[in-house]
């Protein structure tokens, strides 16, 4: 029995030693961990605050504890604190600027990518328009065929110079097939749709010197809108009842051309000459012509006739109307400047600008202009020397003839009217 108790006591003592050893090991480990944490904490504080600040604050606390605070110690602590705050603020600012800089760089590269996408989209758009232009230019073969047919028929009928209804129908169909489009001009697509082929077709027809009746039949149904012509002569051309809306004419001569009842709505005319140019030519006729929303610049319409012509909402700049005749025309311009009406004659014509037009119309030359029952609104005062008076001793009788076609009728309807004209006294 005693041996058993002795053995149990021996085991308990051994177990107690083992537990004590484990506790000692744990205490040693905990001590090391506390020491490591303390060192890390001290390192972090010293790193964050800086060694000068740490030392100065430690010295300040020690002196406060010992009640022997010195002025130098307080100065050093305050200086170290301010110096550390400045450094921390600078570092913080730099750290804050890092993501901002990355955001700026990201925005810059995104902008570059967007510009590249815009260029790519622009090229795709250009390619689309070029494909459409190539498709429409395929009508050039039909164009050449029609011109050959015109040449053949004129050779067979050189005197009357009339075309067959079948060929007229093909010309009309061709004019409608040559639709306007945008094309590459330089490195960019043109802003406005045009049809250079329609301009070439019109030029070919005018150059063929066809019979007026043939022109009437063609212009009645054909479409020459959005046509473009540059540096060509249409002198003496027969262009009655033609649709020239939204055309673009540059450096085109129209002296002696007949554009009665022509539709020039939205047309762009630049450096156009329709004036009297010598004894063998005369000014063009624009009777009943529609210039609504047209833009005319640097052009000369001297000695031209404008009866019942419409210039509403048009833009006229540096346009000459010397010795022109206006009868019941409308000049309610959208913009106007540098207009020359010297020695022109205007009957029942209305001249006006928008009420809020800015600047007001300037450089309007009206010396020798003859007016009869014409009105002017929101324009500069025109220097009318005297009221126009008719000279009954000088008069002439003029017969006006107008022709038009009615569907189903083979022959044109002819209307004649006698007009008695009086010269204005000088």
The reported pLDDT for the residue numbered 178 is: 85
The reported pLDDT for the residue numbered 35 is: 75
- CATH 2.160.20.80 positions along the chain are 231-384
Q: How far is CA 357 from the centre of its chain?
A: 23
Q: Say what the pTM is.
A: 0.59
Digit-coded pLDDT (tens) for 273-321:
988 654 445 678 899 899 999 999 999 999 899 998 999 889 899 999 9
Residue 359, preceding peptide bond in cis (omega within 30° of 0)? yes
Which residues are within 8 A (CB) of 60 and not within 5 positions of it... i.e. 6 or more apart? 69, 73, 74, 77
CATH class name, domain 231-384: mainly beta
Please, what's the b/e burial string for 77-89 (b: 16 or more CB within 10 A of its CB; e: otherwise)? Answer: beebbeebeeeee
Count of Cβ atoms closer than 10 Å to residue 348 Cβ: 14
CA 259, 260, 264, 270 torsion: positive or negative? Answer: positive
The reported pLDDT for the residue numbered 85 is: 62
For a pLDDT cut of 70, what percent of the chain falls above it? 64
The reported pLDDT for the residue numbered 44 is: 60
The reported pLDDT for the residue numbered 357 is: 64
For a pLDDT cut of 90, what percent of the chain falls above it? 20
Digit-coded pLDDT (tens) for 46-89:
555 556 666 676 666 666 766 776 667 766 767 666 666 666 55
Stretches where the chain sits below pLDDT 70 are 1-3, 41-55, 57-63, 65-66, 69-71, 74-75, 77, 79-96, 117, 119-140, 183-190, 276-282, 355-362, 377-426
Instruction: Give dist(CA 384, CA 424) in Å, integer.
Output: 14
Dump the DSSP string for 70-133: -HHHHHHHHHHHHHHHHHHHHHHHHHHHHHHHHHHHHHHHHHHHHHHHHHHHHHHHHHHHHHHH
Instruction: Give dist(CA 13, CA 342) in Å, integer.
Output: 137
């Amino acid at each position: 029995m005693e041996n058993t108790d002795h053995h149990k006591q021996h085991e308990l003592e051994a177990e107690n030693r083992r537990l004590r050893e484990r506790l000692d090991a744990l205490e040693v480990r905990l001590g090391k961990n506390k020491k490591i944490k303390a060192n890390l904490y001290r390192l972090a504080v010293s790193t964050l605050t800086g060694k000068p600040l740490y030392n100065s604050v430690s010295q300040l606390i020690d002196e406060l504890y010992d009640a022997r605070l010195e002025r130098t110690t307080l100065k050093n602590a305050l200086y170290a604190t301010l110096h550390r705050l400045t450094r921390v603020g600078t570092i913080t600012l730099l750290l804050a600027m890092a993501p901002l800089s990355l955001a700026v760089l990201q925005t810059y590269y995104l902008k570059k990518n967007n510009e590249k996408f815009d260029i790519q989209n622009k090229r795709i758009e250009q390619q689309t328009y070029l494909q459409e232009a190539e498709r429409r230019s395929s009508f050039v073969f039909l164009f050449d065929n029609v011109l050959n047919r015109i040449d053949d028929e004129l050779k067979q009928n050189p005197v009357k110079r009339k075309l067959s209804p079948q060929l007229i129908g093909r010309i009309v169909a061709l004019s409608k097939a040559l639709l306007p489009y945008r094309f590459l001009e330089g490195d960019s697509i043109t802003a406005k749709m045009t049809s250079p082929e329609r301009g070439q077709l019109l030029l070919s027809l005018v150059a063929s010197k066809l019979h007026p009746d043939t022109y009437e039949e063609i212009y009645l149904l054909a479409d020459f809108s959005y046509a473009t012509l540059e540096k060509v002569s249409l002198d003496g051309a027969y262009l009655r009842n033609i649709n020239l809306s939204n055309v673009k004419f540059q450096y085109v001569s129209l002296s002696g051309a007949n554009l009665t009842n022509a539709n020039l709505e939205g047309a762009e005319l630049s450096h156009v000459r329709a004036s009297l140019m010598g004894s063998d030519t005369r000014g063009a006729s624009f009777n009943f012509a529609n210039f609504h929303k047209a833009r005319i610049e640097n052009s000369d319409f001297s000695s031209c006739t404008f009866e019942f012509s419409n210039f509403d909402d048009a833009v006229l700049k540096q346009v000459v109307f010397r010795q022109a005749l206006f009868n019941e025309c409308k000049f309610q311009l959208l913009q106007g400047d540098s207009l020359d009406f010297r020695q022109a004659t205007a009957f029942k014509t209305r001249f006006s600008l928008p009420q809020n037009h800015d600047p007001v119309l300037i450089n309007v030359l009206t010396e020798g202009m003859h007016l009869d029952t014409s009105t002017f609104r929101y324009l500069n005062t025109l220097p009318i020397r005297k009221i126009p008076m008719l000279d009954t001793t000088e008069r002439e009788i003029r017969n006006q003839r107008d022709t038009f076609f009615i569907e189903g009728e083979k022959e044109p309807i002819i209307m004649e009217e006698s007009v008695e004209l009086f010269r204005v006294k000088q």
